Amino acid sequence: MTHMPQVVIVAGTGRKVGKTTVAADIIRRFSNHGVYSVKISSHNHPLQDGLEVLFREEDFVVSEELSARREKDSSRLLAAGAIKSFYIQVVSGGPLAPFKKVMSLIPGKSPVVCESPSLATSVIPGALIVVSRLNNVSGGEKRLTLPLTENRYDISSDRVESGEVIPLAYNKGLFHIAR
């Protein structure tokens, strides 16, 4: 596993649980540090206007979000204050190779907020935020096999909606959960 203490991974147990809301909040809170954002998806969507393709390989496409006015997650993260927002679409294989390509575009130990449950199986981030529903009303919850470590913070979607602030700190290129 690759250790990246300047990265916060926001994972979720399903769609519409609040992952992007949490990621955008973290970006707003730490924007004075020059935060970059990455959205990783394994869902095959046609790439839309507002994205500039940076790398296209057989297993993935890496794009940069150019518009802060679209309804897409990568656009919402840019609108929250990210210096740049990247969108990775993984066609096959894991997210590590395309994520490393994106990281090569980001200066030094700049803070990075990444929305992706799958990346947490390949990267040890400074902090791992896991968002889930209290009750699986929709039946669409995924079971995530993510590490239970001191850098993990679990939050329910109702606590996200109520505006709870995640106890996250950033200092000298390192994110960590402030306990």
3-state secondary structure of 161: helix
More confident residue, 141 or 5: 5
Task: Give the pLDDT confidence score for residue 104 in this predicted structure.
Answer: 96
List helix spans (H) across 65-171: 73-79, 96-103, 157-161
The reported pTM is: 0.90
Terminal Cα-to-Cα distance of the chain (whole angstroms): 24
H or E stretch at 22? helix 19-30
Rounded Cα gap, residues 6 and 156, in angstroms = 24
Domain boundaries, the chain: 2-177
Instruction: Give mean pLDDT, residues 133-156.
Output: 66
The rounded percent of the chain whose pLDDT value lies above 70 is 89
pLDDT band at 124; cut points 50, 70, 90 = very high
**pLDDT reported for residue 141:** 47
pLDDT band at 24 (very low <50, low <70, confident <90, very high): very high
The pLDDT, as a whole number, for residue 79 is 94
Residue 2 has pLDDT above 60, yes or no: yes
| Cα gap 50→65, rounded to integer Å | 6
Mean of the per-residue pLDDT values of the chain: 88
CATH class of 2-177: alpha beta
Q: How many CB atoms lie within 10 A of CB 78?
A: 26
Q: Which span out of 47-56, 106-115, 117-126, 139-148 was modeled with the highest average pLDDT?
A: 106-115
